[in-house]
Structure formats: C-alpha cells, structure tokens
Chain A
Amino acid sequence: SAVISQKPSRDICQRGTSLTIQCQVDSQVTMMFWYRQQPGQSLTLIATANQGSEATYESGFVIDKFPISRPNLTFSTLTVSNMSPEDSSIYLCSFMSGRHNEQFFGPGTRLTVL
C-alpha cells in the first residue's frame, strides 16, 4: 500500500503566526483529507483537498483560517493561520484508496501554540 508522510512531525509556535504542514503520498491518489484531533478528543474532518479545484470545507472550518493547497496528485499542504492556543492539536492528513475506499492516515503533526 502507499506510504504517507507529514512534515513537520511537531512544532511549537507563537500566537498570531502561521504554520504550513506538508503531506506527501508516494503514489497518485484522487482524494486527500485533513483532520484535526484536539487534545484527548476524536478526529474531526477539516476539509477534502481536491486536485485542480478548491478544497471543500466542513462546517465550522473556513478557508481563511485553514488554507489548503493540492498542486498535484501526491501532495497537499494545510496552513493554520493566525494561530491561537485553541489551535493546539494534532493535524492529520489521509488519502482514500482500495476496493472499499479505505482511508489511510499520515503520522500526524503535533502543534502547540503558546
């Protein structure tokens, strides 16, 4: 199966700054996704990253706060803009593959905002 990686694995940032998280898959995939996992919580879908078009955001998430790029079929970025301590979370990317459209997740980026 395809391998998925994320960079950075963790970061500590100051409030008001922005961080861009990169997600790389070692084969071409149609659908990629970005999730947030707040401390001690479950995963919530932020958006679906579509190649060649704008990302589709879930309720409660907006493009100005979480701009997403998908320049090709193997790569995507998520930016967390104008960060506040409430943005401290693990951010995970995933892709869909397989006969039953299973999702496979990257290792996550652990973000701490001070």
Chain B
Amino acid sequence: GNSVTQMEGPVTLSEEAFLTINCTYTATGYPSLFWYVQYPGEGLQLLLKATKADDKGSNKGFEATYRKETTSFHLEKGSVQVSDSAVYFCALQRSSNTGKLIFGQGTTLQVKP
C-alpha cells in the first residue's frame, strides 16, 4: 500500500545550522509529494510541493527534490532559525481525483539560539 516514512525526531540544531529531514515513500504510479509544517499551537500549513520526478519544491529557504529512483523527498534548509522550530510532515497524494493525503509520522525540529 501507500505509505510515508520520516526520520524520527526530535531534531535539535543550533541557529544557522544545515537541516535535512529525510522522507521516503512507497506508492504505485506517480504521486504528488508535499511538506507541511505545524508551528506550536497552530494548524498545518503547506510548505512546498512537487508533482513529478525531479521537480524541486521550494519556499521560505526550504527545498525538497522529488527523487523517483530513491523514492525520496528529503527536506533541506541551508541555515535554520529559531522561528523554524515546528513539526514537519511529509505527505503523498496518490490521486488528485480523490485528494486523499497520506502523512508521515512527523518530525519535530528544535532550533536553539
């Protein structure tokens, strides 16, 4: 079946450090891939997306590249800030017709000054 696996957290970094949060997926066909972010006490916000192989999604300094050969969509940022502290969810959408999103378990990022 379809599934998403993220690296376990929490991930603790110092400000300005490089961030990688690993995400791999299992799906048939060509799903769309998403990263969502949940800041403390808030709802989910769409961070970035990629809809086909080799697409790179980017937003707010975050990037992720859709790698079909490794079935991965790792999230990266070159220099994190304290305000990036949040829970990050990787998700796939198997079919845009149904809209159903399948989420990974979430990775908590803590950035210390």
Cα A105 to Cα B101 with chains together (Å): 12
Question: Are A101 and B99 interface neighbours, CB within 8 A?
Answer: yes
Cα A44 to Cα B32 with chains together (Å): 18
Given the known inter-chain contacts A43-B89, A100-B32, A107-B42, please indicate yes or no for A48 contacting B98, CB distance below 8 A.
yes
Given the known inter-chain contacts A41-B105, A42-B104, A42-B105, please indicate yes or no for A101 contacting B96, CB distance below 8 A.
yes
Question: Are A42 and B106 interface neighbours, CB within 8 A?
Answer: yes
Cα A108 to Cα B40 with chains together (Å): 12
Q: Which residue of A lies closest to B102 (CB)?
A: A45
- Please, which residues of chain B bring their CB within 8 A of the CB of A73? none
Q: Which residue of A lies closest to B36 (CB)?
A: A105
Q: Binding site of A, secondary structure by majority: helix, strand, loop or mixed?
A: strand
Question: Are A43 and B99 interface neighbours, CB within 8 A?
Answer: no
Task: Say yes or no for A92: interface residue by CB 8 A criterion.
Answer: yes
- Please, which residues of chain A bring their CB within 8 A of the CB of B89? 42-43
Task: Say yes or no for B58: interface residue by CB 8 A criterion.
Answer: no
Task: Say yes or no for B71: interface residue by CB 8 A criterion.
Answer: no
Task: Say yes or no for B26: interface residue by CB 8 A criterion.
Answer: no
Q: List the one stretch of B12-20, B44-52, B72-80 in contact with chain A.
A: B44-52
- Please, which residues of chain A bring their CB within 8 A of the CB of B106? 41-42
Task: Say yes or no for A13: interface residue by CB 8 A criterion.
Answer: no
- Please, which residues of chain B bring their CB within 8 A of the CB of A94? 44
Question: Are A102 and B46 interface neighbours, CB within 8 A?
Answer: yes
Q: Which residues of A contact B (CB under 8 A)?
A: 31, 33, 41-45, 48, 58, 92, 94, 96, 100-108
Q: Which residues of B contact A (CB under 8 A)?
A: 32, 34, 36, 42-46, 49, 51, 89, 93, 96, 98-106
